[in-house]
A and B are shown apart, each in its own frame.
Chain A
Amino acid sequence: MNMPDYTIPLVVAIPLLGAFLTPLVSRINDKLRNVFVIIVLALNALLVFLLASDILTTGIKTYVFGAKDLTYPIVRILFEVDAMSIFMAIISSILVLAAVTYSWAFMKENTGLDKYYTLILLLTAGMLGMVFTGDMFNFFVFLEITSIASCALIAFWTDVGESVEAGFKYIVISATGALFVLFAVALLYGQYNALNIAQLSSVIQYTFLDKIALVLLIVALAMKAGIVPMHMWLPDSYGSAPSTISIVLVSATLASLYGVLRVVFTLYGNALSTIANFDISVNVFIGWFIVALAVISIIVGVTMALIQSDFKRLIAYGAVAEIGYMFLGIGAGLTALGTAYGRTALNGGIFHIMNDALDVGLLFLVAGAIYYATRERSLDRLGGLARNMKYTTAFFIIGLLAVAGMPPLNGFASKILIYESTFQLNPILAIVAILCSILLLAVFVKVFHSAFMGPQLPKYKDVKEVPRSMLFVMGVIACIIVFIGLFPEFVINNVVEPAANALVGYSEYVSQVVAGGI
């Protein structure tokens, strides 16, 4: 289907306008507001899907804000959407829609929900802007919008000390990270007099200052993506936020991961060698650095998850390990860029972004369901819930198996790509990855045992299954997980492969703007 160009800014503008309308709608009726927010986000998701089908068939789309006929494109902002951007946008819109639908029952007893929904919509606009923008400074602006909205949402339960603490930690970390991103943008701007990613990419020389800018960008965005040892804010904020916010935060974190990908593969695409070259070159330096951090992330994430007793903190450490897997695939793909297995690794890493978002999202929703039913977060005090909450248990099992990479669910499909390709890069990487995957299974079996199995505890005798709307959301996500697990090739060919192509073939992204005369 052929979508007009203005669909691209519309995707960001609809949640933004919706955000400012929400307080007004909220004045009328609470139920109307919930319906309004769900409709806005569903409409947005629909637009994203239509846009995706268009971009995957016809190629990159751009939209220019402001003057169209300038010969020297410096002073305007443009959105440039390729297969990678739309891949991230699909993930974000699914997760946000799930979170908002789930919130209806989950957040019912809270006050201040008009602000809550406003912030969620703002966060959505920020995330979609981050993945759609073709401008470095604009990327920074959307990054800050995302951080401010997520910080306020993490600290939403201000009556709990831990939430406020987590919010403060998050905002300190993300403000610092974002300012270093801005610093790097300024370094690039000072040298090349351009802010546009495509234009910068076409002129970048890889000078000393460019190297510094690259380091600042990668480290700051990797911190926002939650890689060890800069991950400590992540369990704090995921663990203390409401469950619905944790799942939105997952996609906000992945948007930062997208930033890393865009910077390395597109902005510095010129400096990367696309021929397999294992002498000391940019690929190998950055690639091995990312791989090293990724392996540490996997190990630390899994081992720390093993000793957690708070349900959501445990999942958050699991998420750290999962982010490690993504970075492992991407780093291996970068190191061996140009070889066949490097390509497989990149595919695996990108595929894992989608799978991790769904798996970890489902687990957070289950944690939310248990909190809703029992008002208890500590695993030490839970037990025997499978007797009362049959459906939630089933969804938890699906999430558990998927996140631990058990066949035939989706986590396995992407992890096997990562295992087999990293084995060719260095066998130790694959061995660590497989062992930690087994440990991850052990971690979630522990959760399964302590929360769902065991004798029925007297205090949970009257626990009821969660409302249908929450079950519905969990069910839909579980269905998507099973679907991707059963049809991995379908998803890889249609969504993942074009995204990886878009990353590797950066020249197409560049020529759209620079040579295309836009």
Chain B
Amino acid sequence: MFTVETGSGFWNPIIWAIAIFVAFLLIYILRSFGKKEYKKDTEQIKSFLSGNPEYEKEKMHVKASNLYWGFTTSLKGLYTILRRMHTGNTSDYVLWFVIILAIFLLIEVL
């Protein structure tokens, strides 16, 4: 019912779920050893930016385009190629179709 045989192994969500449950239980137990110093409506809820003033909300939120900046910059070569590939031109879409058709025809017929 639960176990999927993959040929070289198996996958059972129930075992996984039990493992995760145990892990969360451990986390919870460890967490309960912590100190309970948190107080609502005091200075504690304010964000601390090394003494700098807090910006407005919109500036504090990291925008989607800025996430993974390092990743995209280090793969700049790949992304230049990919951006050049995605021209948005309808003719190019058909051109890619023709190219793949030609390649496949050559492979298949030869």
Contacts and interface: CB of A to CB of B under 8 A. Distances in A.
B86 A232 contact: yes
Given A232-B86, A306-B71, A457-B58, A417 B4 contact: yes
Contact of B64 (A219, A289, A446): A446
Nearest to A454: B61
Interface residues of A, number: 69
Given A216-B101, A289-B104, A424 B2 contact: no
B65 A309 contact: yes
B67 interface: yes
Contacts of A233: 93
Interface of chain A: mostly helix, strand, loop or mixed: helix
A297 B78 CA distance: 14
B96 interface: yes
Contacts of A236: 88
A412 B105 contact: no
Nearest to A293: B100
A341 B11 contact: no
B72 A306 contact: yes
A234 B78 CA distance: 21
A384 to B, nearest CB: 7
A407 to B, nearest CB: 5
B61 A384 contact: yes
B44 to A, nearest CB: 17
A230 B104 CA distance: 13
Nearest to A235: B86
A489 interface: yes
A389 interface: no
B97 A309 contact: no
Interface in B77-95: 78-79, 82, 85-86, 88, 90, 92-94
B45 interface: no
Given A306-B72, A416-B6, A455 B107 contact: no
B72 A232 contact: no
Nearest to B67: A446
A485 interface: yes
Interface string B97-110: 10111001101110
A449 B62 contact: yes
Given A285-B108, A490-B1, A380 B65 contact: yes
Contacts of A214: 108
A202 B35 CA distance: 76
Given A219-B97, A236-B88, A450-B63, 14 more contacts: A176-B97, A212-B105, A214-B108, A215-B108, A229-B100, A304-B82, A379-B65, A380-B64, A383-B61, A408-B16, A421-B7, A454-B60, A458-B58, A488-B4
15 contacts: A208-B109, A212-B105, A229-B96, A232-B92, A306-B72, A379-B64, A384-B57, A407-B11, A407-B13, A412-B11, A416-B4, A455-B61, A457-B61, A486-B17, A489-B3
